[in-house]
Amino acid sequence: MSKPENGQQLPAICWPVPKNNRGGEFSNLEEMLAHLEGEATGHWLIGRHGMWHGGIHITDTSTPWCALSGQSMNEAVDFPVPFKGEQPVRCMADGEVVAYRINRDYLSMPWYWGDLHYSGSFVLIRHRIQPGETAESGLTFYTLYMHLAPWLAYPEPDSTAFKVADGQYLNAYVDVPRQWVVAELPPGTRVIWDKAVSADTMTGSNGRQYARVTLAEPVTGRMNLNAGDRVWTVCDKGNLVPVRDSIIRPAWWSPFLPPSRETVQFDTVVCPTPYPIKAGAPVGHLGYFQIPTDNGHEKRYQVHIECLTTDDLPRFLSNPEGVGRDTPAFARCPKDIPVYLKYTDGEIYKGLITTESETVIALSGQAVTDKEGKCYWPEGGMSRGLLAESDVQLLSRYDLADRGFEATEDNPVSFDHLDGKRQPKGLVRTIFERFFNVAINDGKLYSKIVAFNYRQLLEQIDDAKSPRYNPELYRRAVQNPSMREHLYRLCVKHPSEWYYSSESSVWKAFFTPQLKRDAPEWYAYSMKFLTDLRWMYRVAGMVENPWHMHPLVFLDAINNIGMTLDEARVRAFMRMIRVGEGTVGEVGYETLFGKQSFIKDYHKDFSDHPNIIITRSTLKSSSSAAGAYQVMGYTWNDPNMLSYRKKYGIVDFSPKSQDEFCVLILKYKRKGALKLIIDGDIDGALDILSYEWASLPPARYPQPTKSKSEVMSLYNKYLLEELSGETDLHLPIGYIKQVYNGV
């Protein structure tokens, strides 16, 4: 990434995984965190065995649709029903790839009952946020995705599988002289073509290249052709393109996938010339992981995600430029301030209750003023009350320290924070102090009991006469669900286990002679595991003790909504429709049912729908469909749609108006479709919209139809482009939200 410059930089941000196998999106941070509550491993800061853990785990327990089964025998035994890799793990923010390691296959380690497998594949992505005008306001940070599925977990694509390219309609011939056209192959028609068979490729007298292909699906034309029939068709100039398999490969693998020719370097840390990657781009799938136990092994698929920075994090948390304070998004509310009520007569009165604790609330509504001009903000709680602006501290989105984010440094003697032998004087004690202060200042009755419990723990830690303790008791106190909000906002500068070797002092406290003597197998396993996974010391700019931020909570806090994922989904779906309808590109906005132009061929313009009825002999049907979305004349002039056109100011048939009218179809003609797309339920949307567009599966009409895998591949491709700001639509950002809300 280039060095910081003047000017605002706000990267797009998204969740690392979807909420279901259809690509549905979590609506907010609380829903995302609730989804991961069932995870047994990978807890923030202190893991289940008391070890340092500077990230989070997402496993097949919560998110099986992001797991991908490979070919190993161990996987088949542990998981007889393979995972299909239906959805990828995603890049969380716009950035650039700065380091990676691609394992060819899973790494292995001998154990009592056979080899155990795990993945050392990772990708490190660098990001930059600069909410203000100068670099002083910014932060360079990284997201890390570890234990990703290796190269061989992804099946090789079929080299003989092709399809007719988007926008192409190819004649199909049954004879070598090409005198008998039996059908037209529409875009997306799947065929089998073995380039290795020389007899199946020829050059015609016109100089064009032709291929003899086997149809992989039926085609309707002058003759009805079946799957398995063989025909000749033109194959040069990109008319036939390879069909990719349905499992989405990591976007950062692009330098190693066709047509690129760069050689993959397996099983080593690579620091390439940084190259860009967008929020939402696939970074891989959950990797297979076996962990030894006394009685066998645990097994799961997982990804370990971290958010790191080597910058001055406390400075960034303080919002040094005061960005956004003129348009506050939050309010810090002290304990015991009055809650006001607005009555039906418009008067505002002081209520009978006060705030029970100090909180930070999102300003979810507009401020109101009383007759004296005093300003109040909605409290947002069950009381539906108001808080006087004079009683609260208004905050910018970027006032992170005032919003509850706290930075602390720890220099432990060991990565094992809860060994049961030495009272934890560092990070764990800091966490207990934080929780005690929260509880003692809270007005709720049960908070006094919580404060008492943490006071006892602190006294026990400080008691020199009792060095031994119950590690599980301390661990549970760290992971107290009622303190989750405060734990997740604690940012820690701490040594990274990915930086140090087993010979370093911070590991020697763990790899003791006693461990080697009493549990030699555990000792050997841990040593090899650490060596196989270590990488950070190889990456320029990384340090041994970076700042660690909770990857979900921190990125949610800095997320400045621009192009939302909701809007990007609808735009991607619209572009996918156009491929099936054969209207890609600017020329698509003037295309008729018969693929002619209503401007060039019929001398119409964009002032109104052309209402030209075209009869297509190959389909034995007539249609008035026109434009990018092949809108029928009767749909355009439907009385209900006319009223919506008037409401939203659609006065012509220009490209912008066509895009806008398509959104109206999704909202008002095919009711429920717009919400399904926004929710990420593409299957549900296709089920409804295949009645509107014949090219969409599951083929409601006797016309050429895209397969489910094809439309999903197109949709995913366009979704990434829209999130990155790449589009060929004329639709203004914000219009979809306006229509969805009925404004």
Name the CA radius of gyration of the chain, rounded. Answer: 30
- The DSSP 8-state label assigned to residue 669 in this structure reads I
Q: At what angle do helices 565-581 and 655-664 cross, to 10 degrees?
A: 110
Token pair for 273: 């010339």
Which parts of 9-111 fold into alpha helices (H)?
29-35, 73-78
Point out which residues pair with 292 in neighbouring strands. 297
Classify strands 45-46 and 52-53 as parallel, antiparallel or unpaired.
antiparallel
Point out which residues pair with 406 in neighbouring strands. 490
Surface-to-core class of residue 531, CB atoms within 10 Å of its CB (0-12 exposed, 13-18 middle, 19+ buried): exposed
Residues 6+ apart with CB under 8 A from 139: 128, 129, 130, 309, 311, 313, 316
How far apart are alpha carbons 515 and 266 in whole angstroms? 33
How far apart are alpha carbons 7 and 29 in whole angstroms? 28
How far apart are alpha carbons 56 and 396 in whole angstroms? 27
- Tell me the C-alpha to C-alpha distance, in Å, between residue 642 and each of 43, 244, 623, 634, 669: 55, 42, 20, 11, 12
From the candidates 75, 306, 581, 590, give the one annotated as an active-site residue.
581
| Contact indicator for 110, 303 with CB cutoff of 8 Å | no
In three state form, how does the secondary structure of 306-361 look?
EEEECCCHHHHHCCCCCCCCCCCCEEEECCCCEEEEECCCCCEEEEEEECCCCEEE
Residue the block writes with tokens 């090899």: 528
CA neighbor of 303 nearest in space, from 131, 51, 53, 59: 59
Angle at 48 between CA 78 and CA 439, to 5 degrees: 145
Residue the block writes with tokens 């491993």: 41
| Contact indicator for 310, 543 with CB cutoff of 8 Å | yes
State yes or no: is 581 an active-site residue.
Answer: yes
Classify strands 240-242 and 230-234 as parallel, antiparallel or unpaired.
unpaired
List the beta strands (DSSP E) in 10-166.
45-46, 52-53, 56-59, 89-90, 95-101, 107-109, 116-118, 121-129, 139-148, 161-164
Residue the block writes with tokens 């496993």: 59
| Contact indicator for 641, 669 with CB cutoff of 8 Å | yes
| Contact indicator for 410, 45 with CB cutoff of 8 Å | no
How far apart are alpha carbons 491 and 496 in whole angstroms? 14
Helix (H), strand (E) at residue 275: strand 275-277
| Contact indicator for 270, 99 with CB cutoff of 8 Å | yes
Token pair for 266: 């397996």
How far apart are alpha carbons 533 and 343 in whole angstroms? 63
| Contact indicator for 736, 586 with CB cutoff of 8 Å | no
Point out which residues pair with 109 in neighbouring strands. 116
Which residues have a catalytic role annotated?
581
